[in-house]
Chains A and B, each alone.
Chain A
């Protein structure tokens, strides 16, 4: 049944009828000019099962994540969205007793192959966590840490430039330029989250995974981050977990709906929100359960 949905995606036409109408329709329409010619998927997941010890958390997840798109993962709490997200940069490896089966490829290469180095993988696939988790170091050191360990900066000036441009792109530079050397943990929650985004993009990853990046933020900070995500789409492939339906509709091009560890439906965000195939998807989106 997932297959069918995916076939349907390929024949998707941006002029598809009946658009979902959230309160702010212009945020939505800005994402309308989507590439009509599909480029090959960046990440392909096939039959991914995840176990925490003996309990299975994910059942045969198949998803194609396309480059330069925002893919939203939605679903009720505990359905396995974070678990799936962590599979994509092998963050599950550091959880005791967590095992992953199935195949996930990045640019056609299996990321769970023996030869793959997780350090290299995580430099290519960055992550922003649900709870802002800056290091208890200065703002500058937070952003500079990734480039430093990967040797991306040739000298101090280069590093300064990377830090500044990352903060700039995360929309944080104006707020912190006078306190670059004060602790990152002293920022407000929203600023911390943008700091974490700046820290992630400073490594110039190809894919950025975001686990409910706005769950702790006020509407203004949220809209800043959404703008940022929309802008980042030009350079990165983004996968975002969100509980906010409007947000999924506003920022994403594709949406996957998870329920009880299974991926129920995956397709263009318009289709999922306006004309889903599955009753459960419709019920969830319209707030009838979840």
Chain B
């Protein structure tokens, strides 16, 4: 230090001083890098743990155990009068047919209680599948067909190995007899796991093996469409107005403080607001994606506004000067030059807000989107649920098979998120201006 401040003309060996300090500088750099790598490693480990536990629990949902039965599609049970009218066909006793086929297969089962157990091997979905087949092709009536039908959730869990076979009979939901029947089917090659189409195409159900995620996916998509359609334009407009046009005074300061505060308000408060305003005051429908979208839009608005303002301030002032210098009006300067450059940043903010909205449950509980809904929503006003709420509902159900569904729903939620982020990256690349 003293050497630095003296004015003596004596030449110093700068090179030696720099060399002496180099080791220290590089050590600092190595340390910093080590910390960074350690942090990333820990994060990756946790993500891997999370993913492996979710996927480990949930991957079996993509298949469903089916058994092959020979079913006599007797006209007596389906269409005794031979009208071939669709409403009559739809009301036929298909469950009885499935039961009959099972009894025929295991003809030695005589006791009533055992018979009931035997009937329980087939899922309720088996009769739905039969009905759909007959509706699609009424000529099947009177024929004897060999079909693959879904088994019940307990049987499915056993085959997938989620229910241990070797514990005492009393401590599992499936009896030794049922196991024996299933083994007999398996031995005959009449039991196999098939791709679970139903999970991806149907709505919720009380029966785990019939429950699907599609209703929640559609509900989430509809809700997010409403959210982005409302929040993005108004958020961008607010950011542009506050940043580029609004005078700096006490009012705009107040607005700014309020926006920043809103970003930190717990989401359930927005749900209560939605309940009070949209449902009670405006009388909008309960459990509807449109109301969910409104609530989530209000919730994400502050995020989009704040990100938008940051994006606008980071546009170099020389661009504004150039535009004004040519005689562009303020609106032209903003819309022709500043906004396009701020767009990628604004999209990033919007996508962060959307991702948060996608994962939000609490405010939606308040407006009734937590209901058990079997039908797939067809419009913005149909009752529906969303993915995180579906996760919550399934996680709350006692059946072992719903545990598998829960993990699978989380996987679908993550896939949804990845698709959304992918779209955002694509859009950002498209809007990005290379200097």
Interface residues of A (CB under 8 A from B): 89, 91, 94, 96, 118-123, 126-127, 129, 131, 133-136, 145-146, 149-150, 183, 185, 196, 199-200, 203
- Give the residues in chain A near B324, CB-CB below 8 Å: 91, 94, 118, 122
A-chain residues with CB within 8 Å of residue B113 when the two chains form the complex: none
Q: How far is the CB of A271 from chain B (nearest CB, A)?
A: 32
When C-beta atoms are compared, the residue in chain B nearest to A96 turns out to be: B248
Q: How many A-B residue pairs have CB under 8 A?
A: 66
Which of B76-84, B92-100, B250-258, B327-335 is the interface stretch? B327-335
- Residue of chain A at shortest CB distance from B324: A94
Within the complex, the shortest CB–CB distance from B116 to chain A, in Å, comes to 75
B336 at interface, CB cutoff 8 A: yes
A131: chain B residues at CB < 8 Å are 318
A89:B329 contact, CB within 8 angstroms = no
Complex interface bits, B328-346 against A, C-beta within 8 A gives 1, otherwise 0: 1100100011000100000
User: Is B428 on the interface with A (CB-CB < 8 A)?
Assistant: no
Q: Does B327 lie within 8 Å of A146, measured CB to CB? A: yes
Given the known interface contacts A136-B341, A145-B336, A185-B435, the answer about A123 and B318 at a Cβ–Cβ threshold of 8 Å is no
B293-328 CB mask vs A (1 if < 8 Å, else 0) is 000000000000000000000000011111111111
CA–CA, A57 to B211, complex, Å?
Answer: 74
A150 to B341, CA, bound (A): 22
Q: Which of B248, B326, B435 lies in contact with A203, CB distance below 8 A? A: B326
Q: Could you list 18 examples of A-B contacts with CB < 8 Å? A: A91-B324, A94-B324, A119-B329, A120-B327, A122-B324, A123-B327, A126-B327, A131-B318, A133-B319, A135-B323, A149-B326, A149-B332, A149-B336, A150-B327, A183-B435, A196-B322, A199-B322, A203-B326
A122: nearest chain-B partner, CB-CB: B327
Q: Are A183 and B327 in contact (CB under 8 A)?
A: no
Per the bound structure, the CA–CA distance linking A222 and B375 in Å amounts to 74
- CB of B111 within 8 Å of the partner chain: no
Chain A residues near B434 (CB-CB < 8 A): 136, 183, 185
**Once bound together, how far apart are the Cα atoms of A118 and B329, in whole Å?**
8
Residues of the A chain whose Cβ atoms lie less than 8 Å from the Cβ of B325: 89, 91, 122, 126-127, 129, 200
A199 to B321, CA, bound (A): 13
- Measured CB to CB, the closest approach of chain B to A119, in angstroms, equals 5
The residue from B248, B327, B435 contacting A149, defined by CB atoms under 8 A apart: B327
Please give, as numbers and ranges, the residues of chain B lying within 8 Å of A135 by CB-CB distance. Answer: 319, 322-323, 337
Min Cβ gap A98→B in Å is 13
Residues of B5-55 contacting chain A, CB below 8 A = none
Residues of B within 8 A of A (CB): 248, 318-329, 332, 336-337, 341, 433-435
What's the Cα separation between A123 and B326 when bound, in Å?
A: 6
In the bound complex, CA of A94 to CA of B328 (Å): 12
CB-CB nearest in chain B for A127: B325
> Looking at chain B's contact residues, is the secondary structure mostly helix, strand, loop, or mixed?
helix
Which chain A residues border B319 with CB–CB below 8 Å? Answer: 133, 135-136
Alpha-carbon distance A91/B326, docked complex (angstroms): 11
Q: Which residue of B lies closest to A136 (CB)?
A: B433
Interface centre among B319, B327, B328, B341 (most CB of A within 10 A): B327
User: Within the assembled complex, what's the spacing in Å between the Cα atoms of A161 and B245?
Assistant: 35
Contact across chains for B328 and A149 when beta carbons are under 8 A apart: yes
Expressed in whole angstroms, the Cα–Cα distance for A143 and B80 within the complex equals 83
Given contact pairs A94-B324, A196-B322, a sample of 19 additional A-B residue pairs in the complex whose CB atoms are under 8 Å apart: A91-B321, A94-B320, A119-B327, A119-B328, A120-B327, A121-B327, A122-B327, A126-B326, A127-B325, A129-B318, A129-B322, A133-B319, A135-B322, A135-B323, A136-B341, A136-B433, A145-B328, A150-B327, A203-B327
Min CB–CB distance A265 → chain B (angstroms): 28
A133 neighbours in B (Cβ, 8 Å): 318-319, 321-322
Q: What is the distance, in angstroms, from B137's C-beta to the closest C-beta of chain A?
A: 61
Selected from A89, A91, A136, A146, the residue in CB contact (under 8 A) with B435 is A136
- Measured between beta carbons, the chain A residues less than 8 angstroms from B433 are 136
B335 to chain A, nearest CB (A): 11
B326 touches A146 (CB 8 A): yes
A233 to B420, CA, bound (A): 57
Taken together as a complex, chains A and B put the C-alpha atoms of A121 and B326 apart, in Å, by 10
- Closest chain B residue, CB of each to CB of A94: B324
Give Cα A135–Cα B435 distance, bound, in whole angstroms.
9
CA distance A196 to B322 in the complex (A): 9
Q: A94 touching B321 by the CB < 8 A rule?
A: yes
A122 to B326 alpha-carbon distance, docked (Å) = 6
Minimum Cβ distance to chain A for residue B247 (Å): 10
B242 to chain A, nearest CB (A): 14
Contact B327 A134 (CB under 8 A): no
Q: Enumerate chain A residues within 8 angstroms of B336, measured Cβ to Cβ.
A: 145, 149
User: Which of chain A's residues have a CB closer than 8 A to the CB of B332?
Assistant: 149
Residue from A96, A136, A203 with most neighbouring chain B CB atoms (10 Å): A136
CB distance from B18 to the nearest CB of A (A): 32
Closest Cβ–Cβ distance, residue A204 to chain B (whole Å): 11
Using Cβ atoms and an 8 Å threshold, which residues of chain B touch A94? 320-321, 324
Residue of B nearest to A123 (CB): B327
A129: chain B residues within 8 A (beta carbon): 318, 321-322, 325
- Chain A residues with CB under 8 Å of B322's CB are 129, 133-135, 196, 199
Q: How long is the Cα–Cα vector from A243 to B319 in the complex, in angstroms?
A: 24
* CB closest chain-A residue, reference B340: A136
Q: Which residues of B are found within 8 Å of A145, using beta-carbon distances?
A: 326, 328, 336
User: How many angstroms between the C-alpha atoms of A127 and B320 in the bound complex?
Assistant: 13
Min Cβ gap A215→B in Å is: 14
For the complex, give the distance between the alpha carbons of A98 and B56 in Å: 65
| Chain B residues near A183 (CB-CB < 8 A) | 434-435
Docked pose: A133 CA to B341 CA in angstroms: 14
The CA of A84 and the CA of B319, in the complex, are separated in Å by 21
**Shortest beta-carbon distance, A268 to chain B, in Å?**
29
* Identity of the chain A residue whose Cβ is nearest the Cβ of B329 in the assembled complex: A119
In the complex, which residues of chain B have a beta carbon less than 8 angstroms from the beta carbon of A200?
325-326
In the assembled complex, the Cα of A135 lies from the Cα of B320 at a distance in Å of 10
The answer for the CA separation of A122 and B333 in the assembled complex, in Å, is 13
Cα A134 to Cα B326 with chains together (Å): 11
| CA of A200 to CA of B319, assembled, Å | 14
Q: What is the chain A residue whose CB lies nearest that of B318?
A: A133
In the bound assembly, the distance between CA atoms of A104 and B248 in angstroms comes to 27
> Hey, which chain A residues are within 8 Å of B323, CB to CB?
135
**B318 contacts across to A, CB distance below 8 A:** 129, 131, 133
Q: Nearest chain B CB to A106's CB is how many angstroms away?
A: 14
